[in-house]
Amino acid sequence: MAGKLNRRQFLIRSGMAGAGALSLPALLAACGGDEGGSGGGGGNSLFFENWPLYIDEETVKVFQEASGVSLKYTEAYNDNNEYFAKVQPSLSKGDKIDPDVIAPTFWMAARYVQLGWAQKLPVDKIPNIANLRDDLKGQPWDKDQEYNLPWQTGVAGIAYNMKTTGRELKSVEDLFAPEFKGKIGLLTEMRDTMGLVLMGLGKNISKLSTFDEAAEAFDKVEKAKNDGQIRAFTGNDYVDDLSAGNFAACVAWSGDVLQLTKDNPDVRFVIPEEGGTNWFDTMIWVKGSENSDAVAKWMDYVYDPVNAAKITAYVQYMSPVKGVQDELVKMGGEAAPLAEDPLLFPDEATVARLQSWGALSEEEEAKFDEAFAAITGA
Amino acid sequence: MNATARLATVASRPERVGLGVMVTLSLGVIALGAGWVAGPSAAVVAAAMLATVVGLVSVAFVGGLETRRALAPYGLLKPGILWLSLFFLAPLWSMVVMSLSSKESRFDFFPSFTWEWDNYRIALTDFRPQFLRSFGYAAVATLLTILIGFPLAYVIAFRGGRYRNILLGLVVIPFFTSYLIRTLAWGNILADEGPVVSIIDGLGLQGAFESLNIMDNGKLLNTPAAVIGGLTYNFLPFMVLPIYVSLEKIDPHLIDAAMDLYSSASAAFRRIVVPLALPGIFAGSLLVFIPAAGDFVNAQFLGNPQTTMVGNSIQDQFLRQLNYPVASAMSFVLMFIITIAVLVYTKFMGTEDLA
């Protein structure tokens, strides 16, 4: 591994630490201390809680100097469900939480919006919102783009270690190949794992609305688990298992593998021929926060392609901002080749293979989650 | 005058005063801690508790030396009792209430108490494999820690000589490192292309390990054996230390005496050393079995989806599924079973020697 800790390596460690701390601090934090914090105040301060190493080292500082907003940027957002568990006692009582802006993945953002825990963004004051990629606009749960702005987007596909597999992989079926028995990893993120399996069965996940339509895929994964095909359901720690050769192949996120391949050329990423799942992490403005000016300034700043390109060059995920590709070329140096990277800027044929999950009703989503929890065995 | 006289009467029965105050205070603490009372009524409870303390002080003041002497034991008990009331009984009560509550919808964050016994049915049926696995793994790990820990403690106690303390230190030192880091390190050691597997392969022992069910399809990591191994490793000192303490107290002359009376070495070991070490084994078993049964770290990092233990399930229900009622029921069942198991074990092994 390279000397500098990259985003995912960091995630692995903090994920473990999170699990090891028994999430006690999270529970404690959820129990009290909801008042006060950096909120309130004359609208010139902002608290953004994001996923770890999901921003370059300059942006926060430069933004503060340019805008005069004092930005508190933390990286305590580690897991959608756990973060939700942490903040729900406060938000469900109508209390504030400390952060003004948080970064849930799209389906979780939809939940915040549906529960009324997200505020309408000060869209008028964010002219750069015009730079939002068209394909991300107008989600079913946010048709008028009032509640969320995507932070970064990516693809879940299959990563494999050539040394262990001995061959190139192309299909979702490869995850179920008997030759890889006990060497397959799946993600605990239900939508990414089940999305791929469903596409492997020829389903269109953007059109799924009931669990019954998806039951077949759950049976398939359950059978694979019982047969010992699946070695582990992991979070970000799949990266270590993959490079160590414990996993021959696993469901993986594009940006991770991009970074990993640099250190270990045997590790490769493929968007299966049946398709890959599109996902994006959002920025939403949490209910109770009053810093609308600062929120607008921040979102406008990161939706400027010049600034967005700097973030992309570091995090290596797909930017939701139009014009980043040109800016990367202008930046030159190490950033320029990224503009050509098919995983950052996929061609049309690839884009056609990507699908994103449609919105699920509360009841159906519960069925999906419960069925998945029953399989992961936890 | 009258009031003082009444106080003096009360003070003539100091035991009742001491007990009464203790019970009142701990009930008050539980009521506040478990959230039975809030707002103005909480203030009333707090005031009542304060009044009780004032009353106690007055009684002690009026009652004289004898009364104060009789009150002292209750005074000494109070910090412990109150601490337990606030941090054990109050949460336990909340948990029991939660385990019998139900949610109206998935995002109903304030489950209401409805005598929902179904939570216990779910805990016992849906999660039966996890419960059985937890107790099975914990039992095997406990046995293994005895098998590994007893000889180790024996050597340190009887053959350690002046290096005893250093040897004990060596047992304990690795455990200054975080539990989690040690477990993760085992992940690297047991990895498919890690040192252990390559040594086994090099010696051609893979077949033997597979037939013993220690290895599975060429892998050592992410198997039941790895989970049990992790538990054994992580809890070993909790077995070694109590056994060492028991052994260390044994007067070597007892063994000499046995030998003088023509006992064989093995009979002396069986009939003198082992029985005297039993309290240590007993204490060690409890210290290993109880946390091991509730552990989830080893299963998470060394196991596979078919080795999940009940701790993993409880964590998942609490933190990912947000199903507090079922998670509470599971926690309570786990506690209950462990308590019963410990009581039976105590009955069987006897604890008199522990004192």
pLDDT digits (tens, 9 = 90+) for A94-129: 999 999 999 999 999 999 998 999 999 999 999 999
Shared-domain flag, residues A205 and A188: yes
Supply the pTM of this predicted model: 0.83
Per-residue burial over B108-127, b if 16 or more Cβ lie within 10 Å, else e, is ebebeeeebeebbebbeeeb
Among residues A213, A176, A222, A148, the alpha carbon closest in space to that of A357 is found at A213
Residue A2 lies in a domain: no
Task: Give the pLDDT confidence score for residue A258 in this predicted structure.
Answer: 81
Angle between helices B274-294 and B310-319 (to 10 degrees): 30
Q: Are A41 and A101 in contact (CB under 8 A)?
A: no
Domain match, A33 and A122 both: yes
Identify whether residues B144 and B214 lie together within a single domain.
yes
Give the torsion sign (CA, B292, B298, B303, B308): positive
Mean pLDDT in residue range A326-332:
92
Question: In this model, does residue A366 exceed pLDDT 50?
Answer: yes
Residue of A52, A226, A116 lying closest to B307 (CA atoms): A226
End-to-end CA distance of chain A: 31
Give the C-alpha separation, A175 to A157, whole Å. Answer: 11
Average pLDDT of the residues of chain B = 90
- Point out the residue among A16, A225, A245 whose CB comes nearest to the CB of B305: A225
The Cα of A322 is separated from the nearest Cα of chain B by a number of Å equal to: 35
| Cross-chain Cβ contact A377/B179 below 8 Å | no
**Residue A100 within any structural domain of the chain:** yes
d(CA A30, CA A369): 23
Do residues B326 and B151 touch, judged by C-beta distance below 8 A?
Answer: no
Q: Point out the domain boundary residue: B43, B66, B99.
A: B99
- Average pLDDT of B139-156? 96
Stretch 175-214 of chain B: residues touching chain A, C-beta under 8 Å: 178-180, 184, 188, 191-194
Regarding whether A104 and A49 lie in a shared domain, the answer is: yes
Query: Packing angle between helix A80-92 and helix A106-114, nearest 10 degrees?
Result: 10
Say whether both A216 and A360 belong to one domain.
Answer: yes
Tell me the chain A residues in contact with residue B109 when contact means C-beta distances shorter than 8 Å: 88-89, 92
pLDDT: which is higher, A239 or A321: A321
Verify whether the Cβ–Cβ distance A374 to B126 is below 8 Å.
yes
Contact B110 A182 (CB under 8 A): no
The answer to whether B122 faces chain A, any CB pair under 8 Å, is no
What confidence score (pLDDT) does residue A201 get? Answer: 95
- Chain B contacts in chain A segment 181-200 (CB below 8 A): 181-183
- Residue B216's pLDDT is 86
pLDDT at residue B350 in the model: 65
Task: Give A378's pLDDT tier (boundaries 50, 70, 90).
Answer: low
Q: Tell me: do B218 and B343 sit in the same domain.
A: yes
Q: Are residues A367 and A244 in the same domain?
A: yes
pLDDT band at A372 (very low <50, low <70, confident <90, very high): very high
pLDDT at A342 > cutoff 90: no
Give pLDDT, residue A348: 87
Q: What percent of chain B has pLDDT over 90?
A: 68
Q: Are A310 and A329 in contact (CB under 8 A)?
A: no
Residue B84 reports pLDDT greater than 60: yes
**Residue B322 touches chain A, beta carbons under 8 Å:** yes
Which residue, B296, B305, B300, B302, is CA-closest to B331? B296
A202, burial (CB in 10 Å: exposed 0-12, middle 13-18, buried 19+): exposed
Tokens 């999170």 label which residue?
Answer: A18
Q: Picking from A1-15, A214-228, B117-131, which range would have the lowest pLDDT averaged per residue? A: A1-15
Pairing of β A148-161 and β A184-187: unpaired
In a domain, A348, yes or no: no
Q: Considering Cα of A323, then A329, then A331, then A336, what sign does the dihedral take? A: positive
Are A136 and A173 in a shared domain?
no
pLDDT bracket for residue A11 (50, 70, 90): very low
The verdict on A136 and A258 lying in the same domain is: no
Return the closest-CA partner of residue A95 out of A224, A272, A271, A288. A288
Q: Number of folded domains in chain A?
A: 2
Q: Are B69 and B173 in a shared domain? A: no
DSSP state string for A16-36: HHHHHTTTHHHHHHHHS--S-
Q: Give chain B's domain count.
A: 2
When mean pLDDT is compared across A255-259, B121-125, B194-198, B214-218, the lowest value belongs to A255-259
pLDDT score, position B351: 57
pLDDT in tens, B222-244: 999 999 999 999 999 999 999 99
Neighbours of B249 (CB within 10 A): 12
What is the model's pLDDT at position A20? 38
Q: How do beta strands B112-113 and A148-161 pair? A: unpaired
- What CATH number should be reported for the domain holding residue A318? 3.40.190.10
The reported pLDDT for the residue numbered B121 is: 95
Query: What would the mean pLDDT of A23-46 be, rounded to a whole number?
Result: 47
Strands (E), chain B: 101-102, 112-113
Distance CA A38, CA A45 (A): 7
Which pLDDT does position A31 carry in this prediction? 40
A350, part of any domain: no
Q: Is the pLDDT of residue A24 over 50?
A: no
> Is the minimum CB–CB distance between A16 and chain B shorter than 8 Å?
yes
* Predicted pLDDT at A236: 77
Indicate whether A251 and A295 sit together in one domain. Answer: no
pLDDT digits (tens, 9 = 90+) for B148-192: 999 999 999 999 889 999 999 999 998 899 999 999 999 999 999
3-state secondary structure of B123: helix
The two structure tokens encoding residue A232: 């582990």
Chain B residues close to A264, C-beta within 8 Å: none
| A236 and A308 housed in the same domain | no
Is A62 within a domain? yes
Per-residue model confidence (pLDDT) at position B282 = 92
Q: Which domain holds residue A323?
A: 7-152+281-342
Average pLDDT over residues B61-88: 90
Co-location of B229 and B310 in the same domain = yes
Q: Kindly state whether residue A139 falls inside one of the protein's structural domains.
A: yes
Please give the structure tokens belonging to residue A256. 């991770």
B123 shares its domain with B94 = no
Min CA distance, B112 vs chain A (Å)? Answer: 15
Identify the domain boundary among B99, B128, B145.
B99
Range of the domain at B299: 118-354
Distance in angstroms between the alpha carbons of the first and the last residue of chain B = 50
pLDDT, position A237 = 81
Are the C-beta atoms of residues A371 and A211 closer than 8 Å to each other? yes
Instruction: Show residues of chain B in contact with A181, CB under 8 Å.
Output: 217
Q: What CA–CA distances, in Å, run from A265 to B94, B260, B297?
A: 54, 72, 32
Q: What is the DSSP letter of B106?
A: T
Cα separation, B308 vs B134, in Å, equals: 8
Q: Please count the residue pairs, one from chain A and one from chain B, whose beta carbons lie less than 8 angstroms apart.
A: 102
- Indicate whether B88 and B129 sit together in one domain: no
Nearest residue on chain A to B302, alpha-carbon basis: A232
Between the CA of residue B272 and those of A66, B258, B285, what are the distances in Å?
80, 8, 20
pLDDT tens-digit readout, A287-317:
999 989 999 999 999 999 999 999 998 888 9
Return all residues near A340 (Cβ < 8 A) that are at least 6 apart.
Answer: none
Cα A153 from Cα A136, distance rounded (Å):
9
Both tokens of A150, joined, read: 């995507």
Predicted local confidence at residue B44, as pLDDT: 92
What does the block give as tokens for A172? 């979702």
pLDDT in tens, B314-348: 998 888 888 899 999 999 999 999 999 989 988 88
Residues of A in contact with B320 (CB under 8 A): 81-82, 85, 373, 378
CB contact under 8 A, B319 and A376: no
B144/B136 Cα distance (integer angstroms): 12
Q: Indicate if B139 and B66 belong to the same structural domain.
A: no
Residues A135 and A56 in one domain: yes
Of B35, B64, B99, the residue at which a domain comes to its end is B99
Helix or strand or coil: residue A148? Answer: strand
User: If residue A99 lies in a helix (H) or strand (E), which one and from where to where?
Assistant: none
What pLDDT was estimated at residue A2?
Answer: 35
pLDDT of residue B324: 92
Q: ipTM for the complex?
A: 0.78
pLDDT in tens, A208-239: 989 999 999 999 999 999 999 999 998 878 88
3-state helix, strand, coil in chain A (%, to 5): 45, 15, 35
Q: What is the pLDDT of residue B321?
A: 83
Closest to A140 (Cα-Cα) out of A293, A356, A341: A356
What lies within 8 Å, CB to CB, of B182 at 6+ separation is B174, B175, B233, B234
Where does the pLDDT of residue A17 fall: very low under 50, low under 70, confident under 90, or very high at 90 and above? very low
Q: Kindly determine whether residue B300 and residue A226, on different chains, have CB atoms separated by under 8 Å.
A: no
Distance, in Å, from the CA atom of A46 to the CA atom of A49, rounded to the nearest integer, reads 10
Mean pLDDT of chain A: 86
